[in-house]
Structure 1
Amino acid sequence: MENQNKKYKYYLLFFIIFLTSFSLGFFVSENIKLDDNITKNQDLNSKVGEFIKDKMLKKDLNLNLFWQVYNIIISNYYSSDELKEKTLEYGLIDGLVKSLGDKYSEFMTPEITKEFENTLSGDFEGIGAVIEKNELGVMVDRVLKGSPALESGILKGDIIIKANNKELKDLSANEAVSFIKGQAGTKVELTILRAGEKDLIIKNVTRNKIKIPSVDTTDLKDPEIGYISLNMFGENTANEFKELLDTFNNEKTKGIIIDLRDNGGGYLQTAVEILSNFIKNKEVLVTTKYKDELLNTPYYSENSGAIFNKKIVVLINGNSASASEITAGALKDYNKAILVGEKSYGKGSVQQPFDLPDGSMIKLTIAKWYTPKDYSIDHNGIDPDIKVSFKKEDYENMYDRQLEEAKKILKKYIKLDSIPLTVGEYNKENKTSTGETLK
């Protein structure tokens, strides 16, 4: 039951992409979510890079105004002896990227770049909490089991306004994380605003190593139903998923629940590899569409073996983003699964990391992705086939209404030959736990 309880990301979550991203012990839910469909296709990256470079070279950029401002600062700023050229350089680049008005495009210093690259590995050092951006700082969306944050008494809903007296309200989630995370054994003083408390709360937290499995399972006490929780789409996730999926490829197991709730995304290629277990070889799984139509790229199933043909229910919610939506969207379009829960986040853009010579990086939105039926979920999200929402008492009673309803739906689905189960068929004998007839 403990593993089930942790899934109430009414529960708390960041992750998005995202990616809802983890930054060494912090899962950034930012409501810039997550985390991000990152393309790892090196040949495509090269083509996109050349395209952007070509377009930039054709721009007649007048930098006279910049140099005037730069010289004014160098000549007149009171503490000019403390100015560092690298600081000004990074400020210029950061401002240039922010001027795009795209919350998914960002500049990262070498330090933040290193943390970002560790984000999808599942190994972190920090306090072990999931956060999202808040106008006052960052809000704790989830406290990880056994984490320093939990041991220190940090709660879901706490707003961290300072880290070691550094105000966080004007920082991005990634920037805020850089002040909160740190090496195992070191301490960070957090200033917290908590609902119902008149005074600010000070917490001194000793950081530690945090290990977040990208794939998890729990025993649902029903031999016919398997359960796989996907927490992120990291570098090793596809292999871990396949190993777990194979354990359910037996005579007893009739169907599985894939839990994508609060999964903010990750690598696009990982989503492709996971989907390849369910959709036959060479079928289109997702298409990325670029400003230059010549770059539009369909991604195909890479299945080289047997297709997993058991019944599938996929759990989604408002924090299921990017790669999670690619996965849910493809399974839905090919009638491979019933989607249960709440509308997904609606993060349908693709970010490409551009590495810079000094170790810094620009993460830039370069495309949007479309499901096999040519549907863009960007800002729209994916609707579940059967909507199930939590009630207030569910939180108090630690009752995962969505998972319990998914189990009922899957049991009914297992008995049917038709794919997928229609809402009408489900309504013949069932009502949702909210007492409302499904529509």
Structure 2
Amino acid sequence: MSNVLLKKILFVVAFMATSLFFISFDNSKDFELSKNLDIYYTLFKELDLYYVDDINSGQLIKTSIDKMLESLDPYTNYIPESKIEDFKFMTTGQYGGVGASIRQSGKAILIADIYEKFPAYNAGLKIGDQLLKIDNTVLENKTTDDISELLRGQPGTKISLLVKRPGVEKPLSIDITRELISIGSVPYYGKLDEETGYILLTGFTEKCGTDVRNALAELRNENVKHLIIDLRNNPGGLLIESVKIANLFLPKNVEVVSTKGKFQSQNNTYATTSEPLDPKIALTILVNGNSASASEIVSGSLQDLDRAVILGEKTFGKGLVQVTRKVSYNAELKVTTAKYYIPSGRCIQAKDYSQKNADGSIYVIPDSLKVEFKTKAGRQVFDGGGIEPDITIKEEFLNNFLIKLHNENVFFNFATEFVKKTPTIAKDFEVTDQIITDFKKFVAQSDFKYKTKSEDELEEIKKTIKRENLDTNLYTKIDAVLSDLKNETESLIDRNKEEVRLFLANELYSRYYYQKDRIIYQLSKDALVDSAIAIYKDKVRYQNILLGKAGNHLLQKQ
């Protein structure tokens, strides 16, 4: 940052501080603000002038802004001009680019997924391709953020990629013309059986309410009597879209959500504005711990109004509303301005960011302080911790071994090798025991290393034995146990065989089929969806849940 620009920035800060001081000196809060802005200005000026090394003023100020906002809550963020397009993508689902996602594997940047019918797909790019160059930029030591920035651009502009394809000796040059990429929030909908329709909703971007309406209209034409809306892993998005979706099933002029903030202008009530598309269809909403914000407005309001059976795990518990405010130099501030409340009157925010525990962690509202509310039919519900499903079905726990295999791209890399030898697979493909045996060999020959908690604890015991000068035979015995543990990877694969089979199935299927077919394949193995259909078919039980005659049942996902 040039000295001239730095002086301009500091002058603005100083001017703000001085103005506030003279205009509002009699207000203690404004005086405190002006005083601290003045301190910040003088401190930064002295730091820039006297610090032993040259400092990056812009980066230092950005760090101070980020840390300041981080102390408030995770959702209040500064968005510099360079990141505005990324932020817009989160709300619109649109960006200029090639229609592919990337992932890092060691030092290599690989194509992780390709969206059907977009430029990367049309140009013949494949999952597993390694990116070497984009135009004239060599990608060595570049981050995934750097490369995403290079791949994006104005629709109609051209980009040249140099890629290394597994099984192909020489690098390939691929030319692509960027397009406007639109990633819809409803990647799939369809019939699961004669009576049940299914809609997968992955986010609450602009116009997703219309997408859900169109999907529902088509399913109604196929005479579905029961609809499953899948909100699992849906992080939320635009509040108004959640109201539109709830309106598909609720009468006109019914309150869906209200917001309460510091100012009167932030206190708003959002009600349905039109007649419902289908006020009678049996409705099941699937949720889990990653269903948040707008997902909780939909599931919570439909639960409060006894309009849907909620199935799965307790939701995330995000009951905070953010808006964006313009700030200098084309940047924006995303700031929490209010809390939202669903029809029963409850706020489902789980964490109180204004309070900290003694150890500095965020205060989580304990069960003993949660307040009871009632649904329209008199069912008992609580605030302060997400939406509790009507039927709780626990998802299978992923242990550290499986997570490490996934995070270190072991399943991904195995799939890349598998494709080289297997040109096609059937749509009803199954991972055989032979494929799992091949996977075990692949892991054994790879650089994958898994250190168990037991190994860490035994290493600590070894240090204690050495420190206390105990019998060296103990040291030798522990080494023998450690040696056995280091050869435990194959046994761990066997003990997690069915989970490994599922990971491999999803990864392998993604190499041969695109998103829609992959979702259909995954649904065929989805135990929670099976449970939703079974509960609906037990008509008495389904109605008793909505009437408050059936308690919350805990089921274990099989």
Where relative contact order (Cα < 8 A, 6+ residues apart) is larger, the structure is: 1
Please say if 1:112 is aligned against 2:112.
no
CA distance 1:188–1:257, shift in 2 (3 Å)? farther
Distance in 1 (CA, whole Å) between partners of 2:92 and 2:340 is 24
CA distance 1:166–1:64, shift in 2 (3 Å)? farther
Q: Among residues 141, 144, 148, which one is paired with 1:165 in the alignment?
A: 141
In the TM superposition, residue 96 of structure 1 has moved relative to its aligned partner by 3.6
Structure 2 contact 79–331 (Cα < 8 Å) conserved: yes
| Corresponding residue for residue 65 of structure 1 | 39
In the TM superposition, residue 105 of structure 1 has moved relative to its aligned partner by 0.6
In the TM superposition, residue 129 of structure 1 has moved relative to its aligned partner by 4.9
Distance in 1 (CA, whole Å) between partners of 2:540 and 2:101 is 37
Q: Among residues 395, 398, 401, which one is paired with 1:390 in the alignment?
A: 395
Structure 2 contact 159–175 (Cα < 8 Å) conserved: yes
Structure 1 contact 389–401 (Cα < 8 Å) conserved: no
Structure 2 contact 114–126 (Cα < 8 Å) conserved: no
Structure 1 contact 164–188 (Cα < 8 Å) conserved: no
Unmatched 5+ stretches in structure 2: 1-26, 104-109, 130-138, 164-173, 351-384, 397-495, 506-521
Q: Among residues 175, 181, 190, which one is paired with 1:219 in the alignment?
A: 190
TM-score, normalising length from structure 1?
0.65
In the TM superposition, residue 294 of structure 1 has moved relative to its aligned partner by 7.2
In the TM superposition, residue 59 of structure 1 has moved relative to its aligned partner by 5.2
Partner of 2:215, secondary structure, is helix
Distance in 2 (CA, whole Å) between partners of 1:55 and 1:122 is 44
C-alpha root-mean-square deviation of aligned residues, in Å? 4.3
In the TM superposition, residue 241 of structure 1 has moved relative to its aligned partner by 1.2
Distance in 1 (CA, whole Å) between partners of 2:28 and 2:390 is 43
| Corresponding residue for residue 69 of structure 2 | 97
| Corresponding residue for residue 407 of structure 1 | 533
Please identify, of 118-127 and 236-245, the stretch whose mean Cα deviation from structure 2 is larger: 118-127
In the TM superposition, residue 434 of structure 1 has moved relative to its aligned partner by 4.2
* Pairs within 5 Å for 1:236-251: 236-250=207-221
* Pairs within 5 Å for 1:309-324: 309-324=280-295
Distance in 2 (CA, whole Å) between partners of 1:334 and 1:267 is 21
Q: Among residues 319, 333, 347, which one is paired with 1:376 in the alignment?
A: 347
| Corresponding residue for residue 51 of structure 1 | none
| Corresponding residue for residue 153 of structure 1 | 128
Structure 2 contact 249–276 (Cα < 8 Å) conserved: no
CA distance 1:388–1:297, shift in 2 (3 Å)? same
Structure 2 contact 198–227 (Cα < 8 Å) conserved: yes
Q: Among residues 303, 325, 330, which one is paired with 2:296 in the alignment?
A: 325
Distance in 2 (CA, whole Å) between partners of 1:245 and 1:116 is 29
| Corresponding residue for residue 420 of structure 1 | 546
Distance in 2 (CA, whole Å) between partners of 1:387 and 1:144 is 35
In the TM superposition, residue 345 of structure 1 has moved relative to its aligned partner by 1.1
Indicate the structure with greater helix content. 2
In the TM superposition, residue 340 of structure 1 has moved relative to its aligned partner by 0.9
Number of aligned residues: 345
- 2:307 alignment partner AA: K
Distance in 1 (CA, whole Å) between partners of 2:551 and 2:72 is 45
Residues 193-228 of structure 1, C-alpha deviations (whole Å, 9 max, x = no match): xxxxxxxxxxxx999765422113343441211111
TM-score, normalising length from structure 2?
0.52
| Corresponding residue for residue 233 of structure 1 | 204
Distance in 1 (CA, whole Å) between partners of 2:162 and 2:29 is 42
Q: Could you tell me the percent identity over the aligned residues?
A: 27
Distance in 1 (CA, whole Å) between partners of 2:190 and 2:331 is 43
Distance in 1 (CA, whole Å) between partners of 2:217 and 2:297 is 22
In the TM superposition, residue 91 of structure 1 has moved relative to its aligned partner by 4.6
Partner of 1:352, secondary structure, is strand
Structure 1 contact 108–360 (Cα < 8 Å) conserved: yes
In the TM superposition, residue 356 of structure 1 has moved relative to its aligned partner by 2.0
Partner of 2:92, secondary structure, is coil
Structure 1 contact 311–413 (Cα < 8 Å) conserved: no
Structure 1 contact 249–308 (Cα < 8 Å) conserved: no
Partner of 2:310, secondary structure, is strand
Distance in 2 (CA, whole Å) between partners of 1:188 and 1:78 is 43
CA distance 1:77–1:206, shift in 2 (3 Å)? farther
Residues 68-101 of structure 1, C-alpha deviations (whole Å, 9 max, x = no match): 2222233235665x856x5565455444423x33
Structure 2 contact 228–286 (Cα < 8 Å) conserved: yes
In the TM superposition, residue 266 of structure 1 has moved relative to its aligned partner by 0.8
Distance in 2 (CA, whole Å) between partners of 1:55 and 1:237 is 46
In the TM superposition, residue 61 of structure 1 has moved relative to its aligned partner by 2.4
Residues 323-364 of structure 1, C-alpha deviations (whole Å, 9 max, x = no match): 000100000000110011111111111111011242100001
- 2:280 alignment partner AA: N
Please identify, of 70-79 and 283-292, the stretch whose mean Cα deviation from structure 2 is larger: 70-79
In the TM superposition, residue 120 of structure 1 has moved relative to its aligned partner by 2.5
Distance in 1 (CA, whole Å) between partners of 2:162 and 2:321 is 34
- 2:531 alignment partner AA: E
